[in-house]
Amino acid sequence: MDAIKLMTEGMLKADKPEVNVGDTVKVHVRIKEGEKERIQVFEGIVIAKKHGGVSETFTVRKTSYGVGVERVFPINSPFVEKVEIVRYGRVRRAKLFYLRDRVGKAAKVKERIK
């Protein structure tokens, strides 16, 4: 049991981003295309956080050309270069799945003053 705990602690990132549900974030992801590598930025609202520890993930949603796009990012993944927080959101829910049904201004989240 101690070996498993040590192994999982070694896999955790030291500079783990403090992301909360409702925040608008820019996630810099390393994409491998053939032999080339590049960084792609995915900007959207964090609508969910799941699990904890090594397997912790967060779901980011954005609207691209009128189509809703969601991506799930593992926090401790080596492919996630960095996570920038654009604005802090003030929400009263742990999961913001209701944003999937909303369009335009109705899909906005209030800003939290920090």
Residue 36 lies in a domain: yes
Residue 41 lies in a domain: yes
> pLDDT per residue over 11-22, tens digit each?
788 888 889 999
> pLDDT per residue over 54-108, tens digit each?
899 999 999 999 999 999 999 999 999 999 999 999 999 999 999 999 999 999 9
Domain enclosing residue 86, as ranges: 2-107
How many domains is the chain partitioned into structurally?
1
Residue 112 lies in a domain: no
pTM: 0.88
Q: 46 forms bridges with which residues in the sheet?
A: 60
**Residue 56: which CATH number?**
2.30.30.790
Residue 113 lies in a domain: no
